[in-house]
Amino acid sequence: MNKWKLLPHLAVKGILRNGRSYWPYVMAGTFSVFTFFVFSAIQDNDLTRTLPHSAYAWMMLVIGQVLLGIILMPFLYYAYSFLIRGRAGEIGLYSILGLEKRHIGIMLVCETALLYILVMAGGVIAGCVFSKLLFLILLKMSGLAVEAEFVFTRDAFVETAVFFGAVFGANLIYGLIRVGKARPVELLSGNKKGEKEPRWILLWGLLGLAFLGSGYATSIQSELDSRIFTDFFLAVFEVVLGTYLLFTSGSVLFLRALKRNRRFYYRPRNFITVSGMLYRMKKSAAGLSNICIFSTMVIITLVCTVSLYLGFDGITHFTTPYDVKARFTAGNPDYEEFENEISYLEEKYGIRALRADYLDKVSIDCLREKNALRISQPESRYADIYDVRLMTLENYERVEGAGKKLEEGQVLFYSSGKDWGYDTIDFMGEELQIVEELQEFYAWPRAGKTALGEGFTLIVKDDAQLERYVRIYAEQKGEPAEDIVDERACDVGVFLEGEDELKQDFISELTVWFQAQEGFVKYWDGLEARVNDRAMYGGLLFIGIIFGIIFFMCLLLIMYYKQISEGYEDQGSFAIMQKVGMSDKEIRGTIRRQIFLVFFLPLFGALMHTAAGMFMVEALLGTLNLYNDRLIAWSCAGVALVFAAVYGISYMVTARTYYRIVR
């Protein structure tokens, strides 16, 4: 048979003969194509852009697709590198039997083309079948209309084909370079050749500890401020680099220490376990660090997803505590007229206003210096300026219904962020005593530990005291006090109980009444804002679930390839051990200990990374207005326990696969 006609046949036979390695790769590639195609199909569908409130969900899909591409490229490269290493001996044999490197190159081209066709066909077909279902799930999670016709666009097919064509092309180039640079003898013996231990191992170990410690410190000390995203990427980089260096060097140092312990090392079961792991620890360390990193990504992604799902009501309470809110100039509308209008609408629509708050206040901008509030300057940074609200005790008690007493020079104090931390306030040079630091104020929900968008509320004895403090502020600012007093505003907010349709009718009529009142400035529709929030957070939840599945798929495939490749490498070694008298029971024990160490070191590392990373996760979730630390902690504990259980099951399945290969 002509060599050129033989090459496609060899490509097909190579895939079928190495099915145990290739089929997981094909399945992973198919799933990758499927997820990418689904994102493209939903994103490029005109319906996604035209549905009301869908802009946030569409934006999340665009971001998700970019991140998906960034994740899939190195993952598919990593999986393909296993295939090439596994085929090294077979390719070396072809070279010895007479195939030139150009022939082997053509065979790899045929093989890559066949794999590309398989994964594209499988992924696109699955995408066509399930895209509409996933689209409806996205609409449901986003709170958008579900009565919609889903139509595929040509762009989705083209984007998917081009992206994966580039990925498979890059993998092919890697395979051609690897085969082209190696000699046939090296290919034949490549999997049997022991690895040299890395040089400067103590230095790399210390660097690994330094990077990991710095990454942990960055996460633990992180705060919700303008640097949070910079700190996040810095911490991720340091932890990833530190993990790789520690697994590469720390594992070898640990095994060396075991080897120097004669009582431990010179026992048959320990000797084989330690020497076998030392034999290939440099290569194994890369796999272990990847398993650790992907495990961490799975846990943190699921923690964020579960926390957002369970905490959505708390998020909407923080962003929109009222179903409708309006602003008026000071003294408008009349409080009794406002209450009468609410009572009339309650009776008309048969729903109850759980809150109808009337907030008469003055808002000023101040700089904070320890316990002092000072005049803000034009050159002051935005992050250093705080919104300070002044209101009377009478107004506060009308809102919160709490009986308090204040004397001149005394205030009630409320911070929507961190606790103030002092018993007094130096307000523009005048010392005010804090009678009580309030922990709750419905109108301005508490964000907790954040310094981002933090505001302070000072509740003073009466109108005379309020105007006095405003005049002190005006004098230091160099503005007429009347101008600032004239900026005194009244906010009214209503929170309703009942069905959304009745609420909307109630709000529509109340809004008309607002606009007819003297001093009306503007209003905010809380129901509308919640619909937009649900669209955005629903898109985030959808992406979080998809990404959690993708990360877990990557993790399982790396674990699988690692164990089958090492199983084939160890096959001959254990056969020799059996011939010299090692029992089946002893082989099982050695395998169990070796896999136990290999599997649970990454799990331990992932749990450590997660524990340190939760400080930063809490801060990042704060950017999405989720400040329930207790909910996040319980979500983390639950996800970690479930993940550890699934990870343990994967360990048992992999151990059996490894043992079958070795036998």
Weakest mean pLDDT among 22-36, 258-272, 374-388, 455-469? 258-272
- Is it the case that residue 641 has pLDDT exceeding 90? yes
**631: which DSSP letter?**
H
Give the domain-ending residue among 162, 178, 193.
Answer: 193
Is residue 555 within 8 A of residue 298, CB to CB? The reply is: yes
Same domain membership, residue 312 and residue 176: no
Number of structural domains in the chain: 3
- Percent of the chain having pLDDT more than 70? 76
- Is it the case that residue 633 has pLDDT exceeding 80? yes
- Is it the case that residue 196 has pLDDT exceeding 60? no
User: Residue 295: pLDDT band by 50, 70, 90 thresholds?
Assistant: confident
Q: What is the pLDDT of residues 125-184, one digit of tens each?
A: 888 887 777 777 777 776 666 555 666 778 888 888 999 999 999 888 888 887 776 666
Q: Which residues pair with 369 in a beta bridge?
A: 372
Q: Residue 226 has what pLDDT?
A: 66
In this structure, is residue 521 part of a structural domain?
no
Q: Which of 329, 275, 346 is nearest to 518 (CA)?
A: 329
Q: How far apart are the first and last CA of the chain?
A: 37
Where is pLDDT greater, at 338 or 18? 338
Is residue 538 within 8 A of residue 142, CB to CB? The reply is: yes
Q: Residue 513 has what pLDDT?
A: 92
Give the domain-ending residue among 146, 173, 193.
Answer: 193
Same domain membership, residue 393 and residue 270: no
Written as one letter, the residue type at 191 is N
Q: What is the pLDDT of residues 98-126, one digit of tens each?
A: 667 777 778 888 888 888 999 999 888 88
Same domain membership, residue 144 and residue 30: yes
Same domain membership, residue 652 and residue 535: yes
Range of the domain at 557: 196-320+527-663
* Alpha carbon distance 305, 287 (integer Å): 27
Is residue 447 within 8 A of residue 416, CB to CB? The reply is: yes
Q: Residue 546 has what pLDDT?
A: 79
Q: Residue 109 has what pLDDT?
A: 84
Q: Residue 37 has what pLDDT?
A: 85
Q: Residue 581 has what pLDDT?
A: 65
Give the tokens for residue 206.
């210390």
Same domain membership, residue 472 and residue 532: no
Neighbour count for residue 314 (Cβ, 10 Å): 16
User: Residue 414: pLDDT band by 50, 70, 90 thresholds?
Assistant: very high
Q: Which of 396, 451, 387, 450 is nearest to 618 (CA)?
A: 450
* Alpha carbon distance 295, 298 (integer Å): 5
Element (H, E) at 391: strand 385-392
The pairs formed by 126-133 with CB atoms below 8 angstroms and a separation of 24 or more are 126/30, 126/34, 127/33, 127/34, 127/37, 127/38, 127/41, 127/160, 128/152, 130/34, 130/38, 131/37, 131/38, 131/41, 131/42
The pairs formed by 302-306 with CB atoms below 8 angstroms and a separation of 24 or more are 302/544, 302/548, 302/639, 302/643, 303/610, 303/614, 303/617, 303/632, 303/635, 303/636, 303/639, 304/544, 304/617, 304/620, 304/621, 305/541, 305/544, 305/545, 305/548, 306/635, 306/638, 306/639
Q: 200-218: b or e for each residue (b if 16 or more CB lie within 10 Å)?
A: ebeebbebbeebbebbbeb
Neighbour count for residue 107 (Cβ, 10 Å): 22
Give the domain-ending residue among 193, 220, 240.
Answer: 193
Written as one letter, the residue type at 314 is G
- Is it the case that residue 274 has pLDDT exceeding 90? no
Where is pLDDT greater, at 80 or 581? 80
* Alpha carbon distance 571, 662 (integer Å): 4
Same domain membership, residue 533 and residue 462: no
CA 427, chain centre distance (Å) = 41
User: Residue 370: pLDDT band by 50, 70, 90 thresholds?
Assistant: confident
Where is pLDDT greater, at 485 or 260? 260
Same domain membership, residue 105 and residue 246: no
- Is it the case that residue 413 has pLDDT exceeding 90? yes
φ, ψ of residue 498 in degrees (nearest 5) = 145, -175
Is residue 456 within 8 A of residue 636, CB to CB? The reply is: no
In this structure, is residue 345 part of a structural domain?
no
Q: Residue 1 has what pLDDT?
A: 47
Average predicted confidence (pLDDT) for the chain: 79
In this structure, is residue 504 part of a structural domain?
no
Is residue 419 within 8 A of residue 390, CB to CB? The reply is: no
Same domain membership, residue 131 and residue 47: yes
Same domain membership, residue 212 and residue 186: no
Same domain membership, residue 184 and residue 40: yes
In this structure, is residue 329 part of a structural domain?
no
User: Residue 314: pLDDT band by 50, 70, 90 thresholds?
Assistant: confident
Do the strands 352-369 and 410-415 form a parallel or antiparallel pair, or are they unpaired?
Answer: unpaired
In this structure, is residue 339 part of a structural domain?
no
In this structure, is residue 233 part of a structural domain?
yes
- Is it the case that residue 441 has pLDDT exceeding 80? yes
Tell me which range, 271-275, 517-521, 544-548, 592-596, is most confidently predicted by mean pLDDT: 517-521
Same domain membership, residue 638 and residue 534: yes
Element (H, E) at 427: strand 424-427
Give the CA distances from residue 428 to residues 389, 469, 471, 504, in Å, rounded to whole numbers and listed in that order. Answer: 14, 9, 11, 45
Q: Residue 53 has what pLDDT?
A: 52
Q: What is the pLDDT of residues 608-618, one digit of tens each?
A: 999 998 888 88
Same domain membership, residue 120 and residue 155: yes
Q: Which of 385, 390, 373 is nearest to 469 (CA)?
A: 390
In this structure, is residue 402 part of a structural domain?
yes
Q: Which of 451, 66, 421 is nearest to 227 (CA)?
A: 451
Is residue 601 within 8 A of residue 293, CB to CB? The reply is: no
Weakest mean pLDDT among 218-232, 436-450, 495-509, 564-578? 564-578
In this structure, is residue 519 part of a structural domain?
no
Where is pLDDT greater, at 370 or 145? 370
